[in-house]
Amino acid sequence: MTIAAVVVDAIVDTIRTLVDCESPTADHGAVARSADLVAALGEELLGVTPERVVIDGVTHLRWRFGDATRVLLLAHHDTVWPIGTIERIPFAVAGDVMTGPGCFDMKTGLAMALHAVASLDDRDGVTLLVTGDEEVGSPSSRRLIEDTARGARAALVLEASADGGALKLERKGVSLYEVVVDGLAAHAGLEPEKGVNATVELAHQVLAISGLADPATGTSVTPTVAGSGSTTNTVPARASVWVDVRARTAAEQQRVDAAIRALTAVTPGASVSVLGGINRPPLEAAASASLFARAQAIAARLALDPLAGVAVGGGSDGNFTAGIGVPTLDGLGAVGGGAHAEHEHVLVSEIAPRTVLVAELVAELTS
C-alpha cells in the first residue's frame, strides 16, 4: 500500500460526519446515536455489521475478523464536549488545519482506524473495538477491552499523537481516591472543645498524602478538590479531599495505593476512610518497545519522517491492554494538538501517512 493510494478526502469526509454527531460521554442517548453512525460508516467501509455491546447504558462497537484476535485496534467515539458545541465551533478545514470538537481526541483516529482496516487485503485476525466511555476512565468498557485483547499479539491505540506527532511509548498509571474524615460536630462558640474538628484532621491528611509523591520516579500524588463543614459556627463533623495519583510503574502505583489505604487519624476521636483506587495500570516502556521499533522500520521503508516516542502522564485504554501483558503502542492517531481545548486541531497533511503506517503495521503483525 502507498500513501498515494489513501484518499484523504474520503477520510476527512468520515471525520466531518463523526464530528458533526456530538457524543459527550455522560449523555448515553448521544453516545448511542453516535454508535449508530459509526456502525453505519463501518459497515459501508468494511462490509460487515459490528457487534453492538451495551454495558451500563453505554454503547460500544466491535468488528472481529477471523476466529482469533491477533491485532486489536482501539478507538473511542465519546468526547468531552457538551451538546451544542458544534454550533459554536463548527467543523472546518482551513489550509492544512482541521478544527471541530473532538476532531483531535479522537474522531480522526477513529476514522483512520476504519479506513486502515478497510484498505487491508486480508483482515483475518484483526479486531477493531470502539468504546463509548474512554473520557471518564472506561468504567463500563474496561472488562470488554481486556477480554477482547487477551491473547493478542499487539494492541494499537489510535489516540492522538503527542507533540510533533510523537508516539506514546509510556503512559502513567492513574489512581483516583476520595479520602473522607469523620469528626464530631459542636458549637464553635459555646463548646468547641466538645467537637472533633474534621477540617484540622483533613489538614494532617493532606500533608501526609502530598508526602507520598516521588518526583525522582515520576510519581505524582496530588490532593485536588477538598471540602469541609456545614456552617460557619459549627465544628465540622466531616471533610474530604480527592487525590489524583500518576505513576510510571505498577510497583509505584501499588506502593501509593497501600500507603493511602493505611492512612490513620492524628486527631483523637477522628476517623479516616478511603474510597476509590487504581483506575488504569501504567503502560510501561517494555510494553511498547518492540512495536515502536517495528513502526520505525515501516516508517523508514515508506520514506516517512522518522518516528519519535515519548512518555506522557495521561491515561488511555492502552493502559488496560498493557496491564494484562499485551504489547501496546499508543498515539498512532491524529497529529495536531489542543485535546479538550477550544483550539483542538488536526494537521490534514499527516492523516494519509499515519493511516498507511497503521495499515502496514497491522498487515505485518497479522501475517
Active site residues: 78, 134
Peptide bond just before 106 cis, omega within 30 deg: yes
Could you tell me whether strands 309-312 and 167-171 are parallel, antiparallel, or unpaired per DSSP bridges?
Answer: parallel
Helix H or strand E encompassing 130: strand 126-131
Site of grid cell 510510571: 248
Question: What's the length of the chain?
Answer: 367
The answer to whether 182 and 229 are in contact (CB under 8 A) is no
What is the distance between the alpha carbons of residues 97 and 4, in angstroms, rounded to a whole number?
A: 20
C-alpha distance from residue 339 to each of 22, 94, 333 (Å): 16, 19, 12
Q: Within a 10 A sphere around the Cβ of 306, how many other Cβ atoms?
A: 7
Which DSSP state fits 193? G
Q: For residue 144, give the nearest of 50, 209, 221 by alpha carbon.
A: 50
* Residues contacting residue 299 through CB under 8 Å, at least 6 positions apart: 305, 306, 307, 357
Amino acid at 214: D
Amino acid at 173: G
What is the distance between the alpha carbons of residues 149 and 322, in angstroms, rounded to a whole number?
A: 9
Specify whether the backbone of 246 is left (phi greater than 0), alpha (psi in -120 to 50) or beta: beta
Q: Within a 10 A sphere around the Cβ of 44, how many other Cβ atoms?
A: 11
What is the distance between the alpha carbons of residues 170 and 28, in angstroms, rounded to a whole number?
A: 31
Helix H or strand E encompassing 298: helix 285-301
What is the distance between the alpha carbons of residues 105 and 11, in angstroms, rounded to a whole number?
A: 16
Could you tell me whether strands 92-94 and 97-99 are parallel, antiparallel, or unpaired per DSSP bridges?
Answer: antiparallel
